[in-house]
A and B are shown apart, each in its own frame.
Chain A
Amino acid sequence: MSGLRVFYTSVFLFLVFIIQEVIIARINFPFNGFSLYLAVLMIVLALEDRTGSLVFGFTGGLIMDLSTSADTPFGQWALVMTIIGYLFSANRESIGDFTQSPFMLVLFTCAAVSLSLVIFLVIGLMLDQSNGGLFHNTGLILGNSLWTFLITPIFLPLIIRIRKLMLDNRERV
């Protein structure tokens, strides 16, 4: 994996983060909200190789830590996403090639988004944060998964195409 690709992917993730913070966050979704950034990051992680999952999990988490509305210690999302990146990395072979099965990729993205939110809450508990009650948080996570499931198929082909553009010639082969 070249340094240039790390740079391009990070810039791409940062652009998605800006869209999330400036546009998506202002939409009052019924049944809680939707995080475009989380969904895109999960797709990127699912499509990456072992090292890529780890590196982009960490950088993607660091970008999430920049969220102006976050009240959590800087690095918490980086830790969560590194763990998620590791899970992707460790299960690379069993996950298989999702690009051949878009439906499975969408389902997997939903599950990964939910898992990342759960891990975030668990780490938050360990750091003595109060993030609301169980009922509220369960609703938020389920709502987020539902919207991820409904909206991800709309932009999934675009993300796959953009990722292909970011691969260098050797990686494309």
Chain B
Amino acid sequence: MARGGGNRSRLLLVLLLVSSLFLITLDLRGVNLASSIRSGIATAFSPLESVASKIFSPIGNFTSDLKNFNQSKKKIEQLTKENDLLKSTQILDEDTVGQLSQLRNVLDLAGRGGYKVVAAKVINRGSSATFKQTITIDAGKSSGVDINMTVISDSGLVGVVKSVTSNSAIVLLMSDPTFKIGVRIAGTQSIGVVSGQGGSTYLLQLLDATGEIKKGDVLVARGSQNGKPFVPGVPVGTVTTVQSNASSITQNADVVGISNLEQIGVVAVVTSPPKNDPRDSLVPKPRPTVTIFVTPTPTPSPTK
């Protein structure tokens, strides 16, 4: 390349680098350039996302089904049987029925906890290239949703509202590595912090070194002041492995999330905290086992 061309390229490079650094500096200095532009983009995208959610929902489900292929096979067999039954009565849209069931359960959970909620549909997921684990929901400021509100599913915590537009909101999932929540072991006073690890497992750090954690312990949210960002009593996860380390100041444990974040279709945003702390009332109860005692009747002895 000619010297002039090389100089021009160098000048262009410097110009572009300076422009980028200028934009970053503006943003870090608190000029709300990014938030207003992104908010505008989110508002413009939300109708598109709603349409895409309806059209492309089977594609998203297909890839998550691939992950659980073995389970899917069993499920297919089970569904085939159910399908025969359904054909004779009424053919229903499985997707709608699933979402309806999730909605019913999430409202049930919110009702038991005394939370005022706004139900919302998941319309998108955040791009992996942003290194953030987020979902987009179809409820925004117009529905009373605001930033730092707790988001729950039919079984427990999902995340917290990170940003909001007039008719959509972005929720930071609890699996995000930056996510942290104060928790209490249900049934005890032991408190700790649960952190996202980027997957379906989480890390619990118990603040009380003398406290006791055991496998199967259920963790509930401790709650924040005025219920923001976390309302109290929401189930967070279940302890799967206790990491015993004598030299550690805090006790650690692996936790599995109570909500399956890959398959949530309907969530609820808690717009108002409960008047009273629901304590452990939302902890999932084990299903009662039915024990049947059979007493054999004495068989008549053959008479001669």
Contacts and interface: CB of A to CB of B under 8 A. Distances in A.
Interface residues of A, number: 60
Nearest to A140: B128
Contact of A28 (B63, B124, B198): B63
What secondary structure prevails in chain B residues at the interface with A? helix
A122 B45 CA distance: 30
A3 B132 CA distance: 35
B16 A58 contact: yes
A78 B127 CA distance: 17
B129 A64 contact: yes
Contacts of B67: 28, 30
Given A74-B23, A79-B20, A28 B128 contact: no
B63 A33 contact: no
Interface string B139-173: 00000000000000000000000110000001000
Given A68-B45, A70-B38, A38 B129 contact: yes
B42 A68 contact: yes
Interface residues of B, number: 57
B83 interface: no
A72 B60 contact: no
Contacts of A124: 131
Contacts of B226: none
B127 A25 contact: yes
A35 B131 CA distance: 11
Contacts of B252: none
B125 interface: yes
B127 A79 contact: no
Contact of B63 (A27, A50, A70, A127): A27
A137 B8 contact: no
Contacts of A54: 9, 12-13, 16
A78 B48 contact: no
A82 B262 contact: no
Most chain A CB inside 10 Å of its own CB: which residue of B1, B66, B125, B262: B125
B128 A22 contact: no
B127 A69 contact: yes
B13 A72 contact: no
A162 interface: no
B52 interface: yes
A34 B125 CA distance: 12
A58 B198 CA distance: 29
Contacts of B86: none
B16 A130 contact: no
Contacts of A21: 45, 49, 124, 127
Given A26-B52, A70-B38, A89-B9, A131 B177 contact: yes
Nearest to A144: B128
Contact of A51 (B12, B34, B42, B162): B12
Contacts of A89: 9, 13
A115 interface: no
B19 interface: yes
B132 A70 contact: yes
B130 to A, nearest CB: 5
A74 B177 CA distance: 21
Contacts of B64: 28
B197 interface: yes
Interface string B42-54: 1001001100110
Interface in B159-199: 162-163, 170, 176-178, 197-199
Interface of A: 18, 20-30, 32-35, 37-38, 50-51, 54-55, 57-58, 61, 64-76, 78-79, 82-83, 85-86, 89, 117, 120-121, 124, 127, 130-133, 136-137, 139-140, 143-144
Q: Kindly list the 5 A-B residue pairs having the minimum CB-CB distance in the complex, ordered from nearest.
A: A33-B128, A75-B23, A132-B177, A69-B126, A74-B34
8 contacts: A23-B56, A27-B60, A28-B60, A67-B127, A73-B23, A73-B34, A132-B131, A136-B177
